[in-house]
Structure 1
Amino acid sequence: MKNKIFLYLPIILLSIGCKAQQYPLDADFTIIPNNSYIKDLNNEYNKFVGNWKAVLGTKEVYLYISKQENRSINRLNKNFFRDVLLVKYKVLINNQIVENTTNITDDKINIISLGTEIDNSVTFGYTGGKCTVGWGTINIGYVDPTHLKWNYQPQSTMVTNKNCPDYPVDGIKINLPYEPDDIIFTKQ
């Protein structure tokens, strides 16, 4: 009987230890242990997943939102895993594609969720387009099953030919919509 207890003890301890390492989406990553897992325990992200579209005058913006589980994250000397939302996008002006990230791989995506907010929204970090122009934060709020609300706050960046050698003569434009506030996207 003693041998059986010692045989199962490591399995029991391992399963208890794994459960203790999972945290909800709103967990503060700075206070969790290394190698913890911030998991979408209540499937809060699922309602954001899908293809979405907004039309702003002559500009059409398409968002392709997917969920990735157990993504490895390294931030502020902390290593952990997190369920995230990934956003690929395509922007057309006068029916001409001016920016398109739909063909990039998940490890190169430049819009990744950082966590949930109490107002039923998700905050995303955006590393910017060419030469990091437009980097900032995006907040996407859930309105109902067919609508999302978009708010994007681009940060200013000093870009020159020295730090961006292929900087075009006419400049780099931010193509993602940042005005007006609360742009509504419709599920496709």
Structure 2
Amino acid sequence: MKNIFLLSIILLSFSCKAQQAYPLDTDYDAIPNYSYLKDTNNELLPFIGTWKAIFDNKEIIIKIDKVDHHLVDYVTNKFYRDLLFMRYNIKNVQGTVIKSTMNLPVTEAKIKSIRLFPNQVLSFSYSGGDCRYGWGDVSLKLIDATHVKWRYQPEGVILTNLNCPNGTDTTIYLPETNNLIFTKQ
């Protein structure tokens, strides 16, 4: 009886497949569901931290955190991926906070990494503010260990009373610019 039990455990362990890890730049369409796109070469590491810039008389602080093994659930693909999430804090000249997402849990930040390109440009998607207003693409280009170049391009949104109630904040707070230099703090 012991032998049958032991044999059952051995067979069960062989039948369980270990989760396959792939490099971060692997096309997620080419991997099985529930695979893992892992930052095997620590390519995301230089972007992690707190960064600061001044734009249009406003202090912009972004905080970038890494979450390992985060589930990405697309309609046709489900996989795990090491991701960066970006939260921000924007202050006016008087030091008053105009807008902040720093109080959000890391994985609820509205800006998350999509892809790292070979030229050290990290692309993020921004789901926008209220009613998705300002949604678009953010990218950071690593200049050196303490500087990144920011680019933000919001997409157009048509707001109506049907899809967004009156009184909704439709201000775009993120700096709408290319080539803004952030310094690591």
**Normalised TM-score (structure 2):** 0.88
Deviation at 1:93, TM superposition (A): 2.3
% identity of equivalent residues:
35
Q: Distance in 1 between matches of 2:135 and 2:62?
A: 17
Which one-letter code corresponds to 1:100 in the other structure? S
Q: Distance in 2 between matches of 1:22 and 1:132?
A: 33
Deviation at 1:6, TM superposition (A): 8.3
Match of 1:182 in 2: 179
| 2:44 pairs with 1:84 | no
Q: Helix, strand or coil for the counterpart of 2:89? A: strand
Deviation at 1:13, TM superposition (A): 6.5
> Which aligned runs of 4 or more in structure 1 are off by greater than 2 angstroms?
2-14, 93-96
Tell me, yes or no, if the aligned pair for 1:161 and 1:167 is still in contact at 8 Å: no
Tell me, yes or no, if the aligned pair for 1:160 and 1:167 is still in contact at 8 Å: no
Deviation at 1:176, TM superposition (A): 0.4
Give the total of aligned pairs.
Answer: 181
Deviation at 1:133, TM superposition (A): 0.7
Which one-letter code corresponds to 2:51 in the other structure? W
Deviation at 1:10, TM superposition (A): 5.4
Tell me, yes or no, if the aligned pair for 2:140 and 2:148 is still in contact at 8 Å: yes
Unpaired runs of 5+ residues, structure 2, are none
Tell me, yes or no, if the aligned pair for 1:90 and 1:101 is still in contact at 8 Å: yes
Which one-letter code corresponds to 2:84 in the other structure? L
**Normalised TM-score (structure 1):** 0.87
Tell me, yes or no, if the aligned pair for 2:90 and 2:99 is still in contact at 8 Å: yes
RMSD: 2.1
Residues 139-154 of structure 1 mapped to structure 2, 5 A cutoff? 139-154=139-154
Q: Distance in 1 between matches of 2:78 and 2:131?
A: 27
Structure 1 residues 104-154: Cα deviation after superposition (integer angstroms, max 9, x where no partner): 113321001112111112111110011111101111111111111111111
Match of 2:101 in 1: 101
Q: Distance in 1 between matches of 2:161 and 2:146?
A: 43
Unpaired runs of 5+ residues, structure 1, are none
Match of 1:30 in 2: 29
